[in-house]
């Protein structure tokens, strides 16, 4: 699973920070900044209007202890997922799962219309990682 920016087609990840609209289309932070500064509609489906602040950053810049992050994810990783932790696809998949988990931990996303989209993506990513 390699998510790509809807505009530049770069592979998204922690180094190329992905953002999503409530309609579910993904953008890298650079393209989102440029696109939504001039046009307030989604580049893919033309839904909107969106402002840059309406987008959900999938790798939020949390400042928290590494121990707290690893302990809060113990339920996800501690339930037999270690059996597949040596593959590169699994590493990328778990990174995506972590990003979804972080986005869902953010209190602001609970009031967002994109919550269902984030939950659906989390379920799909987790299913791919586990299978």
In this structure, are residues 36 and 50 in contact, taking their beta carbons and an 8 Å threshold? Answer: yes
pLDDT tens digits, one per residue of 13-48: 767 778 888 888 888 888 888 888 888 888 888 887
pLDDT for 94-131, tens place per residue? 666 676 666 666 666 666 666 667 677 777 777 776 76
Q: What is the pTM of this model?
A: 0.44
pLDDT in tens, 52-101: 877 877 765 533 333 344 455 454 444 433 334 444 445 556 666 676 66
């Amino acid at each position: 699973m390699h998510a790509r920016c809807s505009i530049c087609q770069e592979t998204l990840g922690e180094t190329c920070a992905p953002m999503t609209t409530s309609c579910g289309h993904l953008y890298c932070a650079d393209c989102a900044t440029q696109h939504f500064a001039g046009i307030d509609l989604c580049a893919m489906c033309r839904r909107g209007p969106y402002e840059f602040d309406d987008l959900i950053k999938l790798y939020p810049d949390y400042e928290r202890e590494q121990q707290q992050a690893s302990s809060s994810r113990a339920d996800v990783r501690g339930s037999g997922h270690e059996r597949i932790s040596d593959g590169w696809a699994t590493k990328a998949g778990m990174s995506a799962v972590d990003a979804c988990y972080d986005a869902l931990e953010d209190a602001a996303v609970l009031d967002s219309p994109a919550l269902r989209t984030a939950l659906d993506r989390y379920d799909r990513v987790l299913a791919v990682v586990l299978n």
